[in-house]
C-alpha cells in the first residue's frame, strides 16, 4: 500500500513540475511579447501580416469572398463575451449535474480569472487598434492582448482538460484538445482577418490563456491530491 502511494506521489509531483514549467513558459512568452511590442519590435511583421489578408490595391476588402467574411465573423464570436459566458455556464451546470463539483469550480474560477487578467492587461498596455485597414467588427477596448484569443484559449483549453480528465479513451481526449485548438486558432485568425488586432496581440492572448488553462490543470490535480493519512 505504501509503495503504491509513493509511486503515485512521485508521478503526481513530476506532472505538477512539468505543468508549472509550461505555465511559467507561457507567462514568460507573454512578458517577452509585451516587451517586444512596447519596444516596437513586432510592428514590421504585424503590419505585413495584416496587409497580407487584404485585397491588393483595396485595403477595404479582406481576401476571399463575402461568404468567407461572414463565416469569419461567426467564428470570431466563439471568443466573444456572450458565447464564452454561455459555454462556461453550460459547462458548470453539466459538471454539477454529474456531481463533478471540483470541475465546475475550476472551470468557473479559471474563466473569471482569465477575464480579469485580459481586462487588466488591456488597460495596462492600452495599445491602439490596427489603423492600416478598416475594422470589420465593432471594438471598444485596447488591442494588447487580444481578449477574444485570451478567452478562447482559457475557456476551451480548460474545458478540454476537464473533459479529458473524466474520459479514459485517448481518442476522445485527443478529440477534445483538437477541437479546442481548432477553435482558438480560428478565433485568433479571425481577429487579424477582420482588422481589429495585430498578430502579436493574438499570440500574446494565446500565451496568457494557455497559462490559465495550465493553472486550471494544476488546481484540479491539487484538489484531487490525497491528503495525509488517507
Q: Which residues are catalytic?
A: 148, 197
Question: Which letter, b or e, does each residue of 147-183 get, where b requires 16 or more Cβ atoms within 10 Å of its Cβ?
Answer: bbbbbbbbbbbbbbbbbbbeeeeeeebeebbeebbeb
Amino acid at each position: 500500500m505504501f509503495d503504491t502511494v509513493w509511486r503515485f506521489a512521485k508521478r503526481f509531483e513530476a506532472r505538477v513540475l512539468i505543468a508549472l514549467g509550461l505555465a511559467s513558459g507561457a507567462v514568460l512568452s507573454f512578458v517577452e511579447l509585451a516587451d517586444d511590442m512596447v519596444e516596437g519590435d513586432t510592428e514590421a511583421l504585424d503590419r505585413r501580416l495584416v496587409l497580407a489578408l487584404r485585397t491588393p490595391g483595396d485595403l477595404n476588402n479582406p481576401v476571399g469572398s463575402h461568404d468567407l467574411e461572414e463565416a469569419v465573423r461567426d467564428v470570431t464570436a466563439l471568443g466573444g463575451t456572450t458565447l464564452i459566458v454561455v459555454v462556461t455556464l453550460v459547462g458548470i451546470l453539466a459538471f454539477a449535474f454529474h456531481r463533478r463539483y471540483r470541475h465546475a469550480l475550476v472551470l468557473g474560477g479559471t474563466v473569471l480569472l482569465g477575464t480579469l487578467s485580459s481586462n487588466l492587461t488591456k488597460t495596462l498596455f492600452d495599445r491602439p487598434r490596427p489603423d492600416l485597414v478598416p475594422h470589420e467588427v465593432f471594438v471598444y477596448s485596447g488591442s494588447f492582448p487580444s481578449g477574444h484569443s485570451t478567452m478562447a484559449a482559457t475557456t476551451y483549453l480548460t474545458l478540454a482538460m476537464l473533459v479529458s480528465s473524466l474520459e479514459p479513451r485517448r481518442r476522445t481526449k485527443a478529440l477534445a484538445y483538437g477541437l479546442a485548438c481548432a477553435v482558438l486558432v480560428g478565433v485568433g485568425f479571425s481577429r487579424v482577418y477582420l482588422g481589429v488586432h495585430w498578430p502579436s496581440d493574438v499570440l500574446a492572448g494565446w500565451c496568457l490563456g494557455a497559462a490559465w488553462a495550465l493553472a486550471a490543470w494544476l488546481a484540479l490535480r491539487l484538489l484531487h491530491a490525497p491528503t495525509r493519512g488517507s
